[in-house]
Structure 1
Amino acid sequence: MRLPGLILIVLATLVPVIWFAPLAGERDAVALFSQYLGASALILMGINQFLATRVAGIETIFGSLDRIYILHKWLGVVALVAMGLHDIIDAEMNGLRGGPLSGIAEDIGEVSLYGLLILILASVITFIPYHLWKWSHRLIGVFFLMGAFHYFFIEKPFSNFEPLGLYISAFCILGIVSYVWMSLLRPMTPRGHVYEVDLVRRVGGLTELVLLPKGRGMKHKPGQFAFLSINDGALGEEHPFTLSGAPAQDRSLRFSIKDLGDYTKRLHKTVEPGMEALVCGPYGHFSMPKGRDPQIWIGAGVGITPFLAFAESLRTADAGPVKLYYCVREQDDVPYAVELENIAEAVPNLELVIVNSAEGIRLTADRIAGDLDGDLSTAHVFFCGPVAMRKALKTDLVLKGMRASRFHFEEFEMRTGIGLRVLAAWLWDRGVYELEKRNSALRQPAE
Structure 2
Amino acid sequence: MVRGVLVLLTAALALLWGWDVLQAPASPAHPWWIARQEAMYLSGLLAIGLMSLAMYLATRPVWLEAPFGGMDRVYRAHKWAGIVGGSFAIMHWLVEMSDDILKSTIGRAGRVPKEKATGLLDSLQDLAEDFGEWGFYILLVLLAITLWQRFPYRPWRFLHRAMPVIYLLLAFHSVLLAPRDYWTQPVGWVLAGLVAAGIYGALRALLGNIGQARRVRGEILAVTQPAPDVVAVSCRLPAAWHGHRAGQFALVTFDPDEGAHPFTIASADGGDRTVEFRIKALGDHTRQLPSLLRPGQPVDIEGPYGRFDLSRINPRARQFWVAGGIGVTPFLAWLGALQNSSAPAPAADLHYCTRDREHDPFVAELQALCAGLPSVRLHVHGSAQGDVLDAHRLLKDTGPGEAAEVWFCGPGGLADSLRRGIAGIGRRRLSFHQEAFVMR
**Structure 1 and Structure 2 fold alike (TM over 0.5):** yes
Residue aligning to 1:228: 252
Query: Letter of the aligned partner of 2:328 in structure 1?
Result: I
1:276 pairs with 283, 298, 311, which one? 298
CA contact (8 A) 2:211 2:302 kept: no
Superposed CA offset, 1:158-179 (max 9, x none): 1686455554344323222211
* Shift in Å, 1:412: 4.7
Residue aligning to 2:204: 181
SS of residue paired to 1:256: strand
Residue aligning to 1:390: 415
Work out whether 1:25 is the aligned partner of 2:26: yes
Residues 295, 166 of structure 1: CA spacing in aligned structure 2 closer, same or farther, 3 A cutoff?
closer
1:238-277 aligned at under 5 Å gives the runs 238-277=260-299
Report the TM-score when normalising by structure 1.
0.83
Residue aligning to 1:114: 137
SS of residue paired to 2:291: helix
The answer to which of 237-246 and 218-227 deviates more is 218-227
* Shift in Å, 1:348: 1.0
* Shift in Å, 1:305: 0.9
CA contact (8 A) 2:72 2:306 kept: yes
SS of residue paired to 1:57: helix
SS of residue paired to 2:62: coil
- In structure 2, C-alpha distance between the alignment counterparts of 1:142 and 1:49, rounded to whole Å: 11
Superposed CA offset, 1:54-91 (max 9, x none): 02312134331212222222222321232222222248
Report the TM-score when normalising by structure 2.
0.84
* Shift in Å, 1:11: 6.2
1:350 pairs with 368, 376, 380, which one? 376
- In structure 1, C-alpha distance between the alignment counterparts of 2:329 and 2:270, rounded to whole Å: 16
Work out whether 1:214 is the aligned partner of 2:233: no
Residues 303, 128 of structure 1: CA spacing in aligned structure 2 closer, same or farther, 3 A cutoff?
same
- In structure 2, C-alpha distance between the alignment counterparts of 1:367 and 1:58, rounded to whole Å: 36
CA contact (8 A) 2:355 2:383 kept: yes
The answer to which of 170-179 and 8-17 deviates more is 8-17
- In structure 2, C-alpha distance between the alignment counterparts of 1:187 and 1:66, rounded to whole Å: 16
CA contact (8 A) 2:345 2:373 kept: no
* Shift in Å, 1:96: 0.7
- In structure 2, C-alpha distance between the alignment counterparts of 1:340 and 1:8, rounded to whole Å: 43
Query: Letter of the aligned partner of 1:15 in structure 2?
Result: L
- In structure 2, C-alpha distance between the alignment counterparts of 1:359 and 1:95, rounded to whole Å: 71
* Shift in Å, 1:24: 5.7
Query: Letter of the aligned partner of 1:347 in structure 2?
Result: L
* Shift in Å, 1:259: 1.0
CA contact (8 A) 1:241 1:257 kept: yes
What residue ranges of structure 1 are gaps of 5+ in the alignment?
A: 416-447
* Shift in Å, 1:240: 0.5
- In structure 1, C-alpha distance between the alignment counterparts of 2:263 and 2:371, rounded to whole Å: 28
CA contact (8 A) 2:267 2:333 kept: yes
RMSD of aligned C-alpha atoms? 2.8
- In structure 2, C-alpha distance between the alignment counterparts of 1:38 and 1:2, rounded to whole Å: 22
Residue aligning to 2:72: 66
What residue ranges of structure 2 are gaps of 5+ in the alignment?
A: 100-110
SS of residue paired to 1:101: helix
The answer to which of 348-357 and 58-67 deviates more is 58-67
- In structure 2, C-alpha distance between the alignment counterparts of 1:160 and 1:79, rounded to whole Å: 20
CA contact (8 A) 1:299 1:307 kept: yes
Residue aligning to 1:335: 361
Residues 103, 10 of structure 1: CA spacing in aligned structure 2 closer, same or farther, 3 A cutoff?
closer
The aligned length equals: 411
* Shift in Å, 1:102: 2.7
Work out whether 1:400 is the aligned partner of 2:422: no
Query: Letter of the aligned partner of 1:298 in structure 2?
Result: V
Residues 42, 248 of structure 1: CA spacing in aligned structure 2 closer, same or farther, 3 A cutoff?
same
1:285 pairs with 301, 307, 311, which one? 307
- In structure 1, C-alpha distance between the alignment counterparts of 2:326 and 2:25, rounded to whole Å: 56
CA contact (8 A) 2:60 2:210 kept: no
- In structure 2, C-alpha distance between the alignment counterparts of 1:207 and 1:114, rounded to whole Å: 41
1:362 pairs with 384, 388, 392, which one? 388
Residue aligning to 1:435: none
* Shift in Å, 1:202: 0.8
Query: Letter of the aligned partner of 1:9 in structure 2?
Result: L
Residue aligning to 1:420: none
- In structure 2, C-alpha distance between the alignment counterparts of 1:102 and 1:159, rounded to whole Å: 16
Residues 59, 321 of structure 1: CA spacing in aligned structure 2 closer, same or farther, 3 A cutoff?
same
CA contact (8 A) 1:292 1:318 kept: no
- In structure 2, C-alpha distance between the alignment counterparts of 1:404 and 1:126, rounded to whole Å: 36
Residues 95, 397 of structure 1: CA spacing in aligned structure 2 closer, same or farther, 3 A cutoff?
closer
* Shift in Å, 1:275: 1.7
- In structure 2, C-alpha distance between the alignment counterparts of 1:404 and 1:241, rounded to whole Å: 31
- In structure 1, C-alpha distance between the alignment counterparts of 2:49 and 2:438, rounded to whole Å: 27
- In structure 2, C-alpha distance between the alignment counterparts of 1:216 and 1:85, rounded to whole Å: 47
Query: Letter of the aligned partner of 1:50 in structure 2?
Result: Y
Residue aligning to 1:54: 60
- In structure 1, C-alpha distance between the alignment counterparts of 2:214 and 2:231, rounded to whole Å: 25
**Percent of residue pairs bearing the same amino acid type:** 31
Residue aligning to 1:303: 327
Residues 223, 404 of structure 1: CA spacing in aligned structure 2 closer, same or farther, 3 A cutoff?
farther
- In structure 2, C-alpha distance between the alignment counterparts of 1:86 and 1:321, rounded to whole Å: 54
